[in-house]
Structure 1
């Protein structure tokens, strides 16, 4: 398995993954045009975030995005893992573990990055089990949000 930074050529697959993920996990049908523009914005501007993909036999089978949060408590950056998706045919084969380990290795190697966070839908118990197995915990924070819908 190869873990690499996503490239422009990966955009159609990344969009397909996110459309599927939103439907599967939250029963949401995203607007493909808005999603494509949002993902393109990240691929075009590293200050917004970064996508990573997992490839097996030349096929992209999983992806995630990281975004950044400044932590005044830690005087450093915290990376947020978002938009996680693994193709159904490749689940249970270590794809997310490989992506997570790659991100964790990048964080360990950079003294300015203090840690990793993610949020997960409360009903997505299979994802929560994977995160716990990899040593993450959900003991400290609950996430609250207000989103403007257009």
Structure 2
């Protein structure tokens, strides 16, 4: 049976393995154990973030995170959904839908968020169709980024 709950520090290694699978699909990112560990620790310790995990017999087989921001366009708190990934051996079983539903419920009921946004790899047709089939809308925005350091 699949259960959804919030991540704990003990889940970090399982989540790093999931991020490795995700970053092997996404063209803009490269798996890096130490960076992913540091990022997950920061999220777990942040009052402005939550990580949900899907467990199968106690093992983490899926995850997603939400970070809270302030939007001047919305006049309040909004969220960014990141790293929605399900272990490749457990895909097609509704786990991603359960994680997304929990994330949306959290935003509406507990987070008081007005909007949830996400970025998806433009060539990941499965992911794009997944979100579209669940009521997510494409926008006219284009993601730009600039690195500092390294």
Structure 2 gaps of 5+ residues are: none
Instruction: Name the structure 1 match of 2:148.
Output: 148
How many angstroms apart in 2 are the aligned matches of 1:63 and 1:8? 14
What SS class does the counterpart of residue 77 from structure 1 fall into?
A: strand
* TM-score, structure 2 as length reference: 0.89
* CA positional deviation for 1:110: 4.4
**TM-score, normalised by the number of residues in structure 1:** 0.89
Matched, 1:137 2:130: no
Unaligned runs of 5+ residues in structure 1 are: none
Secondary structure of the corresponding residue to residue 80 of structure 1: strand
Kindly state the Cα deviation for residue 111 of structure 1 after the two structures are TM-superposed. Answer: 7.6
Per-residue CA deviations over 1:91-117 (Å, capped at 9, x if unaligned) read 111111101111111222248310211
Q: Aligned to 2:115, what secondary structure does the other structure show?
A: strand
Tell me which residue corresponds to 2:33. 32
Question: RMSD over aligned Cα, in angstroms?
Answer: 1.8
The answer for the alignment partner of 1:18 in structure 2 is 19
Q: Number of residue pairs matched?
A: 149
CA distance in 1, matches of 2:124, 2:111: 32
2:5 is matched with which residue?
Answer: 4
